[in-house]
Amino acid sequence: MVVRQGLARWYQALFSPGVQAGILEPADLAAYRNDQVLIRGALHVPVSTDALRECMLALPELLEAESEPSVRAVPRYFMFVYIHPYLDGNGRLGRFLMNLMLASAGYVCTVIPVEQRNEYVNALEQASSFGNSEPFAHFIADLAIAQSTAPLPSPQ
């Protein structure tokens, strides 16, 4: 699948400007994280570095096992963010992956507006820390439906 082949390239493409700006080191983009990370303000602790590689090997298999993109996109996005394979940018790359899956099946790309960030973070925390994925699934589904009928305005 395209994710298995593209993930590292997409991560490097999205975050190489940080290397050029001197914010990141080139090694930061070379591989998965080597240390445990904590997510500021969240109860969820991403998988340990010992489990990280195995989880990332299983993720493409799970993506390929589900044929319906609308079913595949949201849970697999959540799984990617739950694993948290990189030091930074997991949410951005996860949303990119979700939209890649949605767009490849003809669904609208779904943007999480900054005004709804708190609702998004709370729904994600419910899923990550308490195993309650329903608020997160509803949040993304409601945004997708709303944005398919009334797209967000283009940035000025």
Question: Is 84 tagged catalytic?
Answer: yes
Q: At what angle do helices 69-83 and 90-104 cross, to 10 degrees?
A: 170
Of residues 83, 104, 86, 91, the one with CA closest to residue 3? 104
Asked if 74 and 140 touch (Cβ cutoff 8 Å), the reply is: yes
Catalytic residue chosen out of the listed positions 72, 76, 84, 95: 84
Report d(CA 2, CA 19) in Å as an integer.
25
Q: Which residues are catalytic?
A: 84
